[in-house]
A and B are shown apart, each in its own frame.
Chain A
């Protein structure tokens, strides 16, 4: 079983739609969680941290479910500029950060 798993997609959604991604992790001792965004051939950029209480940043909402060992990212009112690959990242302890393979999102006009 992979340490961090994501559905690779692609998710093709129309502008204005709401889309959600999940990411599961295998190490129950994992300590912190993140979502990154990666545009084609570019470096990943931190989108947001994920907390047990959930956190929201504009159109983006992230949630953590420790019992079921998954994190989620919800994007509301999708924009064309949201098209990218979304990577979840898990700090497994000892500060080793493991990434999922990413979920590709394509927002269609």
Chain B
């Protein structure tokens, strides 16, 4: 399966712990997006990365959240000191970076903060 792979599928954390969400883009894609979705709400843009570079992080909270996409390995969305309000589905998408920017999504990580 050469699709976008996200893991874990479900992640449970207690308040104050750290959450690390991983995303491997589709083969041949070098652009990764992270979105957050609350129940019954739309996708909220968080961050857009290319290999080793953050291009746009305007949707990501300034504190506790960080993202990276290293030269080797998956993209990581890291949430430090999680709070209950961080509970959501986090979707990663990848693209090949061409002008029409079609996004292909992973199955998402459902984060639950107890």
Q: Which residues of A contact B (CB under 8 A)?
A: 31-32, 34, 41-46, 49, 87, 89, 91, 94-102
The reply on B33 being an interface residue by CB < 8 A is yes
Contacts of B31 in A (CB 8 A): 95
Q: For A48, give the chain B residue with the smallest CB separation.
A: B102
Query: Is B101 a contact of A97 with CB atoms below 8 Å?
Result: yes
Residue on A nearest B92 in the bound complex, by CB: A43
Q: How many residue pairs between the two chains, A and B, have CB atoms under 8 Å in the bound complex? A: 54
Number of interface residues of B (CB under 8 A): 26
Alpha-carbon distance between A1 and B85 when the two chains are bound, in angstroms: 24
Q: Who on chain B is nearest to A89 by CB?
A: B103
Asked if A32 and B99 make an inter-chain contact with CB atoms under 8 angstroms apart, the answer reads: yes
Most chain B Cβ neighbours within 10 Å, of A32, A95, A96, A101 = A95
- Can you name 6 A-B pairs with beta carbons within 8 Å? A43-B105, A44-B105, A95-B55, A95-B95, A96-B58, A99-B42
Most buried by A among B35, B102, B104, B106: B102
Instruction: Report B12 CB to chain A, min CB distance, Å.
Output: 17
